[in-house]
A and B are shown apart, each in its own frame.
Chain A
Amino acid sequence: MSTSTDVVVTGLGATTPLGGDVASTWEALLAGRSGVSRITDDWIKEFPAQLVARLATDPAEQIDRVRARRLDRSQQVAVIAAEEAWRDSGAADAGIAPERVAVVIGTGIGGALTLLGQDDVLEEKGPKRVSPFTIPMLMPNGPAAAVGLAIGAKGGVHAPVSACASGAEAIRWGLDLLRFDRADVVLVGGTEACIHPLPMAGFAAMRAMSTRNDEPERASRPFDKARDGFVLGEGAACLVLERADTAKARGARVHARLAGAAGTADGYDLVAPHPEGEGAARAISAALRDAGLTPADIQHVNAHATSTPVGDTAEAAAIRSSLGEHVLVSATKSQTGHLLGAAGALESVFTILALREQIVPATANLDDPDDDAAVQSLDIVRHEPRRTTLTAAVNDSFGFGGHNIALVFTTA
């Protein structure tokens, strides 16, 4: 095994609150558009937090009806993003043996809409009316399995579950599979679709969600003094990874290199982040070492920054202690909302596009940065995207449970 094996990104796919594919999502991000809206259904009336970031394009427009009816919404969006990434990579036409193609798709919650919907069926109509597809639609490995079937992957199908770090963790697993030569091509990513009263109530009960109901587009405001929680989003993002030599041999277009990755656990609290972001900083430092880079080599960080009061300051401390104050920080959840298990994958797509296009996306709604010393010390790009020379960037993701994942990407 060689841990120095060069791994590159040859395909990208996404369906998000900003757009139904990568191009429209990226365009909307740079244009500063928000994917957040207020729920107007009757059931929301008693809810303190009424904002969500729904998909810009209904999956029904992108996936065949009969195919869709046996896939949970989280599986539908995973398949849509995966098929875009797979097409983008051109790997389908490269004659790669299916036994050498693997899939890693993470989800934070799994098929919650199916679980809750079928529970309604059980209560109202009895056990004989529960769908025979209930279990495959709710199981957390369902999205990975559905994607594996969609692209014909027989080299292994895996599903990391680490809350909001799941998508990033999937990318890290993909890197390991390639370094261990367990596959030649790995399709990785994350997915989530759980906009439903129960998860909304659960997150609200944790006091984790923004209640700025009258200003949907201004509610997700990472690092801002007036931030009051995250906005629940839905969607999926995928990447195609392969070893650089394989990609070169087949003449694949390379978006960026996945230079390194690392994961740590806080060992501090089930849901609260370590106040100084100790575990997060360790993950970033370890990912840099894995990539053979130093803090001075990194110009940009796509931060996890969910817009919660404690999470953002802990992350600012982690970025400052692990990378320093020179990096340009973006918090793109300000526009996409928080896609939970898809967040790390989507933000990796943004990190890759930033490197490829040499532009750092802006953090929306950052009108008045928090007084916290670490936040004040960081160069957070706001209001307008910033054009600059980029060669290496970090995407970090954290999940309830104390999961920390850091990924290092470099230009192709």
Chain B
Amino acid sequence: MSREDIQTGLAEILEEVAGVTPADATPEKSFTDDLDVDSLSMVEIATAVEDKFGVAIPDDELGNIKTVGDAISFIEKNQG
């Protein structure tokens, strides 16, 4: 799956879980500072990512994912 496709899929998750407008879900955006996504919502997003992309995000990795781009890269690197 391309980075663009991952970004689109991630944007859908962000809209569903946190009400983020898809156009705002761009790689440079910080989940907490720009998109107002809190830690519990990040847990929900991780679960949804696993469902959508088949990529599990371990708890110790979740803390390192600060931006939409970090998430896209993690999914891209770990997709099967």
Q: Residues of A with Cβ closer than 8 Å to B?
A: 64-67, 69-70, 128-129, 131-133, 136
B18, A133: Cβ atoms closer than 8 Å? no
A-B residue pairs in contact (CB < 8 Å), sample of 8: A64-B19, A66-B18, A66-B19, A70-B40, A70-B41, A129-B47, A132-B43, A136-B40
B44 beta carbon closer than 8 Å to chain A: yes
Closest chain-B Cβ to A77's Cβ sits at a distance in Å of 20
Q: Give chain A residues whose Cβ lies under 8 Å from the Cβ of B41.
A: 70, 132
Chain B residues numbered 11-61 whose CB sits less than 8 Å from any CB in chain A: 17-19, 40-41, 43-44, 47
Closest chain-A Cβ to B18's Cβ sits at a distance in Å of 6
Closest chain-A Cβ to B66's Cβ sits at a distance in Å of 19
- A306→B19 CA distance, assembly (Å): 41
Q: Residues of B with Cβ closer than 8 Å to A?
A: 17-19, 40-41, 43-44, 47
Q: Give chain A residues whose Cβ lies under 8 Å from the Cβ of B47.
A: 128-129
Closest chain-A Cβ to B4's Cβ sits at a distance in Å of 25
A133, B40: Cβ atoms closer than 8 Å? yes
A132, B19: Cβ atoms closer than 8 Å? no
B44, A65: Cβ atoms closer than 8 Å? no
Tell me the nearest residue of chain B to A129, going by C-beta: B47
Of B19, B40, B43, the contact of A65 (CB 8 Å cutoff) = B19
Q: Give chain B residues whose Cβ lies under 8 Å from the Cβ of A128.
A: 47
Q: Give chain B residues whose Cβ lies under 8 Å from the Cβ of A69.
A: 17
Q: Give chain A residues whose Cβ lies under 8 Å from the Cβ of B17.
A: 66, 69
- A378→B43 CA distance, assembly (Å): 58
Q: Give chain B residues whose Cβ lies under 8 Å from the Cβ of A132.
A: 40-41, 43-44
- A69→B41 CA distance, assembly (Å): 11
Q: Give chain A residues whose Cβ lies under 8 Å from the Cβ of B18.
A: 66
- A178→B40 CA distance, assembly (Å): 35
Tell me the nearest residue of chain A to B51, going by C-beta: A129
Closest chain-A Cβ to B19's Cβ sits at a distance in Å of 3
Q: Give chain B residues whose Cβ lies under 8 Å from the Cβ of A70.
A: 40-41
- A131→B47 CA distance, assembly (Å): 9
- A66→B18 CA distance, assembly (Å): 6
Closest chain-A Cβ to B14's Cβ sits at a distance in Å of 10
Q: Give chain A residues whose Cβ lies under 8 Å from the Cβ of B19.
A: 64-67
- A133→B47 CA distance, assembly (Å): 13
- A304→B2 CA distance, assembly (Å): 63
Tell me the nearest residue of chain B to A65, going by C-beta: B19
- A65→B15 CA distance, assembly (Å): 11
What 6 A-B pairs are tightest by C-beta distance, nearest first? A66-B19, A132-B43, A132-B40, A133-B40, A132-B44, A66-B18
Tell me the nearest residue of chain A to B50, going by C-beta: A128
| Interface core residue of A70, A128, A132 (most chain B CB under 10 Å) | A132
- A131→B44 CA distance, assembly (Å): 7
Closest chain-A Cβ to B56's Cβ sits at a distance in Å of 9
Q: Give chain A residues whose Cβ lies under 8 Å from the Cβ of B43.
A: 132
Closest chain-A Cβ to B55's Cβ sits at a distance in Å of 14
Closest chain-A Cβ to B41's Cβ sits at a distance in Å of 8
- A69→B44 CA distance, assembly (Å): 12
Tell me the nearest residue of chain A to B39, going by C-beta: A132
Closest chain-B Cβ to A181's Cβ sits at a distance in Å of 34
Closest chain-B Cβ to A117's Cβ sits at a distance in Å of 15
- A128→B50 CA distance, assembly (Å): 11
Q: Give chain B residues whose Cβ lies under 8 Å from the Cβ of A131.
A: 44
Closest chain-B Cβ to A135's Cβ sits at a distance in Å of 10
Closest chain-A Cβ to B62's Cβ sits at a distance in Å of 11
Q: Give chain B residues whose Cβ lies under 8 Å from the Cβ of A65.
A: 19
- A64→B15 CA distance, assembly (Å): 13
Closest chain-B Cβ to A21's Cβ sits at a distance in Å of 25
Tell me the nearest residue of chain B to A133, going by C-beta: B40
Q: Give chain B residues whose Cβ lies under 8 Å from the Cβ of A66.
A: 17-19
Q: Give chain B residues whose Cβ lies under 8 Å from the Cβ of A129.
A: 47
Q: Give chain A residues whose Cβ lies under 8 Å from the Cβ of B44.
A: 131-133
Tell me the nearest residue of chain B to A69, going by C-beta: B17
- A202→B19 CA distance, assembly (Å): 37
* Other contacts beyond A67-B19, A70-B41, A133-B44: 11, CB < 8 A: A65-B19, A66-B17, A66-B18, A66-B19, A69-B17, A70-B40, A132-B40, A132-B43, A132-B44, A133-B40, A136-B40
Closest chain-B Cβ to A284's Cβ sits at a distance in Å of 45
- A64→B44 CA distance, assembly (Å): 18
Tell me the nearest residue of chain B to A128, going by C-beta: B47
